[in-house]
Chain A
């Protein structure tokens, strides 16, 4: 049986094609702007080509993510916590909690027996301080996201920036640049701000288990943020190899029935 999952995020879309419980292709692309449906179509064709398949070979396509309504070729739609849960269960059968840090959302899903979801907690108030913010501030610092994560490790915990509001945080970062603060120290401050933000959601309602919590989503690739979050929360996260594709994987798994 061949199924596909499409995760239409606010920033990027991810596709996973699954054959008999194994991933045979992945695809990704930007999803913003007026042409979300076309962008999805393009990534879909690329993924199919990579898997050497025709659209008719795929038994079922399920989509998820904030832009899921825009995908015409998906037969079914599932909400994000459900795909997060399904992927986490598949990757780590003993997981009891999954944390998804994306472009503008952080979501904590507490898992119960089988497919049960006990509780979902998300960032309130404002979407700032996550993936979109990291991307924008890396540009201000003249670094790539990888460089920012690396340099942050060399930085001293000497300065801090606003952790609540992205435009304010950028203002803080620019102010520090203006004072010729070392860039690695600012990168460190950015990292800590994001970690503080995510940690507050972790502490909100659910107390994730120390050794059975899965971390997924694009920001989980930022090693510096993850390390700081580990320290702050005391959780030893389980991070899968293709963490940003977890939502799409979950959707593909759900498509299998």
Chain B
């Protein structure tokens, strides 16, 4: 078996200091993305547990598995969860959900929960889409922009690129930052051309770091152009899988002249946490 460069680790976590039996409201959010699925469980207003895994070909089963993994060995059962919100591209496949909410609202709320109330702009760097969201007030959305046409350079494509360039996906960002100065960005970030482009660059004498830099720079520029449409304001937070790629984040920050907030949570969880927050409000509002 050859090494699978595209694979990223799945995870799950439970906060042992919370006794769920003593909480009033238990809610959950399940975010079924095209590439990854997360489930988050809130006990009152605190994160109790989460899981993050790869979306399989059966979206329903994946949503179910994510929730079961988040429940883990805590003893908590699905019937104890009072309200579940499904979100993400595959939200219709969260069969146990009371309702579904769009990703934009969920990411906005999730980012507020994770990065605090200072967040004014949220950029979700997902597998197929990149969404820039401008917020005002506590739960309002002022403006929103998304990548049009094509998913080139987004998360899924980066997985394919990791395979083609034989660089483990988690190391791509760091390795790209080893360059002294960013080279010219590549002309296309589409994976259909990735290897041909890379081959040309290697032949010109580029190192692996320079090739990666040329790619991630191009991707960051594409995202930057899109984020500009919502006129981003401080503070800014990046969510989604690519927020874990410092090669993209650092270049995006430089282009925007802003430093993104950091937090203790996995940025991939924003959608699921946001869904759980909305679930809690729906429950209280009933």
Contacts and interface: CB of A to CB of B under 8 A. Distances in A.
Interface of A: 10-11, 30, 32-36, 66-67, 69-70, 103-104, 126-128, 132-133, 135-136, 139-143, 165-168, 170-171, 174, 177-178, 180, 183
Contacts of B57: 140-143, 177, 183
A36 B202 contact: yes
A10 B199 contact: yes
Contacts of B93: 178, 180
Given A10-B199, A132-B164, A183-B57, A127 B193 contact: yes
20 contacts: A10-B195, A10-B196, A33-B164, A33-B167, A33-B208, A34-B166, A36-B199, A104-B193, A126-B192, A132-B195, A140-B57, A142-B56, A143-B57, A167-B156, A167-B191, A171-B128, A177-B57, A178-B89, A178-B90, A180-B60
B81 interface: no
Contacts of B69: none
A105 B207 CA distance: 26
Nearest to B2: A30
B256 interface: no
Given A30-B2, A168-B150, A178-B93, A132 B199 contact: no
Interface in B118-158: 128, 150-152, 156-157
A77 B176 CA distance: 33
B157 A66 contact: no
Nearest to B157: A167
Interface string B47-86: 0000000001111100000000000000000000000000
B211 interface: yes
Given A33-B208, A34-B207, A36-B202, 16 more contacts: A11-B164, A32-B164, A32-B166, A33-B166, A66-B196, A126-B192, A132-B195, A165-B150, A167-B152, A167-B157, A170-B151, A170-B156, A177-B57, A178-B89, A178-B92, A178-B93
Contacts of B152: 167
Contacts of A177: 57-59, 90
Contacts of A135: 163
A30 B1 CA distance: 12
Interface residues of B, number: 37
Residue of A32, A103, A133, A140 with most partner-chain B CB within 10 A: A32
A178 B156 contact: no
A133 B165 CA distance: 15
B53 to A, nearest CB: 13
B154 to A, nearest CB: 8
B160 interface: yes
A11 B199 CA distance: 11
Contact of A128 (B156, B192, B199): B192
Contacts of B191: 132, 136, 166-167
A33 B152 CA distance: 19
B101 to A, nearest CB: 17
A33 B261 CA distance: 33
Nearest to A103: B195
Given A167-B151, A174-B89, A178-B93, A127 B192 contact: yes
A104 B199 contact: no
A32 B165 contact: yes
A177 B93 CA distance: 10
B281 to A, nearest CB: 26
Given A180-B60, A180-B93, A167 B190 contact: yes
